[in-house]
Amino acid sequence: MIDRADYSAEAAEADFDEEAIVPDVLAGKRLDQVLAQLYPDLSRNRLQGWIKSGRVLVDGQTVVPKHKVLGGERLRLDMSPDPDQMPYEAENIPLDVVFEDEAIIVINKPAGLVVHPASGNWSGTLLNGLLHHDPALAGVPRAGIVHRLDKETSGLMVVARTLSAQTHLVRQLQARTVSREYAALAHGDVVTDGVVDAPIGRHPSQRTKMAVIPSGREAVTHYFVDRHYVECTLLTCRLETGRTHQIRVHMAHLGHPLIGDQVYGKRRCSNEVLMNFPRQALHARRLGLNHPLSEQSMSWSADVPEDFAQLLRLLDSGNTFNAG
């Protein structure tokens, strides 16, 4: 299954547009059973999906579908339309197409572009641009999108042009045979290469954030030191898994949040250039996979965009030394 948790990851709490109190007579029942009785017009599967994706809060907390209620709890539901079932319009949004054939499209996504419509971003997304680039993508779930990048993360993504290609790519992601490499600039001195093997799940109290929590899903990030700078380190990060905000969460967990990360990287330093960088310094620079039709191994690369490159040039003009 594709991880759906990030469809509403950037939604504010104001997106919860329905409230209810659990009747005392339903005490002891599972939350999904309670919701099914309170909202009989909604399917049990949809309600369970909402619970799993963090669109249901119980006294302000996310829980699992089998959570048993005590009675009297305050429920809040995000009942905004399901992104996969909304009819999206094609929009003429310029796309940097690195490669395309009859099966796939490889895009170099700019920072600032949302990948998939969600609360607060129902238009102007990569999905809308893809529908304009290839109207036939309207017949493929999520317009062929099989993985995504955060809004302010730039870099390479692959899109499937057919349902069979999408299925093939999803299976590769599940089998962890898709290679994804990122350039990342992190606060502080990351002394040596390493790996973070720490489960990631929805933050227990701040639903717009992810966190390393024991009940989270397996998440593994390999990182390699490329260059040390004063107060920061340039890294190469390779994903073994693909959780929401994975690199950002894992580096913050190590005590080295990414430069410019407004969610996980609130760390002071004396370098104003670093403090003023307006987005997380993260770029998906290499992507490798087996072609869905030929099974041939293919890979693509994309240089860091100009804002990231300029930041590195400014750092290079200071006191630096190469790793190793």
Only one residue has tokens 């330093």, namely 269
Instruction: Please provide the DSSP assignment of 218-280 as one string.
Output: --EEEEEEEEEETTEEEEEEEESS--TTHHHHHHHHTT-PBTT-TTT-----S-HHHHT--S-
Question: Looking at residue 141, what is its pLDDT?
Answer: 84
**In this predicted structure, what is the pLDDT of residue 88?**
86
With respect to residue 224, please indicate whether it lies within any of the assigned structural domains: yes
Do 264 and 309 reside in the same domain of the chain? yes
96 as an active site residue: the answer is no
**Cα Dmax for the chain:** 69
Q: Which of 77, 106, 121 is the last residue of a domain?
A: 77
pLDDT of residue 5: 34
Number of structural domains (the chain) is 2
Which has the closest alpha carbon to 283: 240, 322, 324, 235? 235
Query: Of 31, 47, 77, which marks where a domain is finished?
Result: 77
- If asked whether residues 39 and 159 sit together in one domain, one would say no
**What's the pLDDT at 41?**
65
Chain-centroid distance of CA 58 in Å reads 24
Residuewise pLDDT in 10s, the chain (324 residues): 233 333 333 333 445 668 889 999 999 999 999 998 888 767 778 789 889 988 899 998 899 999 999 999 999 888 765 555 557 899 999 999 999 999 999 999 999 999 988 766 788 999 999 999 999 999 888 899 999 999 999 999 999 999 899 999 999 999 999 999 999 999 999 999 999 999 999 888 887 899 999 999 999 999 999 999 999 999 999 999 999 999 999 999 999 999 999 999 877 788 888 999 999 999 999 999 999 999 999 999 999 999 999 999 999 987 444 444
CA atoms within 13 A on the CB side of 175: 10
Structural domain boundaries, residue 36: 18-77
- CATH number of the domain to which 129 belongs: 3.30.2350.10
Do the Cβ atoms of 193 and 302 come closer than 8 Å? no
Q: Kindly state whether residues 115 and 257 are assigned to the same domain.
A: yes
Among the listed residues 6, 15, 78, 150, the single catalytic one is 150
Is residue 279 situated within a structural domain?
A: yes
Q: Is 152 found in the same domain as 29?
A: no
**Cross-strand partners of 159:** 105, 145
State whether 68 and 126 are in the same domain: no
What is the tens place of the pLDDT at every residue in 15-44?
Answer: 566 888 999 999 999 999 999 888 876 777
